[in-house]
Amino acid sequence: MRKLVSAVAVLLVLGCSIAAVAQEKKVKGAYIRLDPAEVKLGDIPLDKLSDSHGKVEIKVLNEGSSPLLLNRVEGCCGTEIKEYAKTPILPGKEATIRVEFRIEPKPQAIRRVVTIHSNAVNSKELTCPITGSVVLPKKAGRIEF
């Protein structure tokens, strides 16, 4: 009987400690996550290229326990930041960064970077690459090597 009581006591203590560890995993402070972490535009045929290909939205999620402040959001290479949250993003909430850039109508690689400066404990400066390429359209009956 004593062994049974001891075993139950050990299981209770073990269960309580696992629950305590699970609760401690909640991040103290603001924790930033981007969705998507990287924007992949893929291959865009030149004849299908439109202005919409240069308009991107990035979701910013606060997975921490304190409000997330986006201090500054920057784009490189002629990338314009059209909109981002200038008010605190509360824990468990999200905001959207709207980005626009012009893509020259010629075959080329697309490489842009959006840099986000914040008060997040996991990354004070976070980058979101935007990649893709403009390619020549495939012609019917043409053999490519």
pTM for the model stands at 0.75
Predicted local distance difference test score (pLDDT) of residue 145:
56
> Which tokens belong to 130?
């935007």
Q: Name the β-bridge partners of 19.
A: none
Strand order across the 70-75 sheet: 39-45, 125-135, 108-118, 70-75
pLDDT band per the 50, 70, 90 thresholds, residue 138: confident
* Tens digit of each residue's pLDDT (9 = 90 or more) over 48-78: 999 999 999 999 999 999 999 999 999 998 9
Q: Is the pLDDT of residue 5 over 80?
A: no
Predicted local distance difference test score (pLDDT) of residue 139:
76
Q: Which structural domains are found in the chain, ordered by start?
A: 26-130 (2.60.40.10)
| Distance set, CA 38 to CA 3, 14, 50, 101, 136 (Å) | 56, 40, 21, 16, 24
- Tally DSSP H helices, then E strands, for the chain: 1, 8
- Cα dihedral sign, 110-116-121-123: positive
- Cα dihedral sign, 81-83-85-86: positive
Measuring CA to CA, which residue among 94, 96, 97, 118 is closest to residue 30?
A: 118
